[in-house]
Amino acid sequence: MNTTATAEPVSEKVRVARSETVRRFVQGDLASLRVVLGLAVIWIIFQSQNDRFLTAENLTNLMLQITAVGLISIGIVYVLLLGEIDLSVGAVSGLAAAVMTVLNVNHGWSPYLAIVAGILVGTAIGLLQGSLFSRFAVPSFVVTLAGLLAWQGALLQVLGSTGSININDPKITGLANTFYSDAVGWVIAVVIVAAYAGVVLAGHRSRVAHGLTGEGLAPLAVRIVLVALVTIVAVAILNSDRGVPLALLILLAFVVGFEYVAKRTRFGRHVYAVGGNAEAARRAGIGVNKIRIVVFGIAGTMAAIGGIMAASRLLAVNQSSGGSELLLLAIAGPVIAGTSLFGGRGAVWTALLGALVIGSISNGMDLLALSSAVKFMVTGGVLLLAAIVDAIARQQRQAAGRV
């Protein structure tokens, strides 16, 4: 008769777990690790070319540069998890920032209300596009391409004849230009590490309470120490320049929050299920259309938040807000960092990692005074490479899929 899963000897379980790790690395589930290594290589190369690259000042600048695109990418990750695409996020980010600015500057709204209104514009646009996509089964590519054009037109309309509006409100400009003191920076570090340790240990306790064998306490301790080290080093570097920027905290908060939603909640599970096999999800009683609409709503919302951060940093909105390469970088980032274009695979923190990779390339080449021409070509090359790696990983999975 068969041996049961529970009756297997312990050594067998360990062997399976180990081969599982190897398989995950090869087949791309641990693509993020590859990307971290790639990022290290990129940093070493630029540092060797220009020793200003890894200074505290430049790294702080890098963080400020990636905030907007990283926030937009968070929404893109959700859309990619469904196996869909949203081409309108750049235009939506520009429009939302313009709405906020016009309400604040021209109509005298309070900065908070103006910000909320800008974000809600993004949410509404996302929900609309998601509804059109799921109701009429028009490919998301087409719906959001139409959106790209339409919302760019709306941006010009909202800006009116001036074409550019400066932002003076300190509450709004403060979003991207606030830095915390050293002491506050360290408090933040302690809070982050304590919260991480608390979550990890709570998860462990829950497994033990249900009589499940976990990975043991040692790997958990390693993870906690690793997070603590990264946090301490990051805060130390940021403190030696202007301090921890509010913009970075906003980005991190959204990354952590949406990572939690994706991996730990029923909604997130259903997003992965719809992206993996929509028909299976439907038969399991999951409201596929509802999931799709909400995901596009998230994409619109995050686009708006990213656009508002970009405007805060620029201290203005103008006709090219949310234009040019912003959209493409927001999509390229998560893909480079390992979120699959085919749906069902990926993680929210690839938004942050991808933005770091792309931001580093762009920042480094600026330091080397390379032209935009070279920057675009190199970034394009990196994206292509990442997409090919994703496709190869997918083929391997399919080849290994049904033994």
Provide the binding-site residues for other proteins, judged by CB under 8 A: 1-7, 13, 16-17, 20, 23, 203, 206-207, 209-212, 260-261, 264-267, 269-270, 272-273, 275-277, 279-281, 283-286, 344-345, 397, 400-403
**What is the nearest approach in angstroms of other proteins to the Cβ of residue 19?**
9
Q: Which of 358, 364, 317, 297 lies closest to 119, judged by CA? A: 297
Rounded Cα gap, residues 355 and 71, in angstroms: 9
Nearer to other proteins by C-beta: 287 or 380?
A: 287
Q: Which amino acid is at 303?
A: A
Nearer to other proteins by C-beta: 170 or 219?
A: 219
* Angle in degrees, 0-180, between the axes of helices 89-101 and 56-81, rounded to the nearest 10: 120
Nearer to other proteins by C-beta: 204 or 313?
A: 204
Nearer to other proteins by C-beta: 20 or 57?
A: 20
For residue 369, report the phi and psi dihedrals to the nearest 5 degrees: 60, 35
Nearer to other proteins by C-beta: 82 or 159?
A: 82
Nearer to other proteins by C-beta: 345 or 375?
A: 345
**What is the nearest approach in angstroms of other proteins to the Cβ of residue 402?**
6
**What is the nearest approach in angstroms of other proteins to the Cβ of residue 305?**
19
Q: Which of 251, 252, 281 lies closest to 268, judged by CA? A: 281
Exposed, middle or buried by CB within 10 Å (0-12, 13-18, 19+), for 210? Answer: exposed
Distance of CA 352 to the CA centre of its chain: 5
Nearer to other proteins by C-beta: 112 or 260?
A: 260
Residue with tokens 């790639």: 38
Nearer to other proteins by C-beta: 53 or 258?
A: 258
Buried b (16+ CB within 10 A) or exposed e, 268-281: bebbbbbbbebeeb
**What is the nearest approach in angstroms of other proteins to the Cβ of residue 223?**
17
**What is the nearest approach in angstroms of other proteins to the Cβ of residue 5?**
5
**What is the nearest approach in angstroms of other proteins to the Cβ of residue 13?**
8
- The CA-to-CA distance between both ends of the chain, in Å, stands at 21
**What is the nearest approach in angstroms of other proteins to the Cβ of residue 237?**
33
For residue 319, report the phi and psi dihedrals to the nearest 5 degrees: -65, -20
Residue 340: C-alpha distances to residues 36, 46, 82, 344 (Å): 17, 28, 10, 7
Q: How many CB atoms lie within 10 A of CB 69?
A: 31
Q: 324: left (phi > 0), else alpha (psi -120 to 50), else beta?
A: left
Nearer to other proteins by C-beta: 52 or 207?
A: 207
Q: Which of 86, 59, 90, 73 lies closest to 350, judged by CA? A: 73
**What is the nearest approach in angstroms of other proteins to the Cβ of residue 391?**
16
**What is the nearest approach in angstroms of other proteins to the Cβ of residue 283?**
5
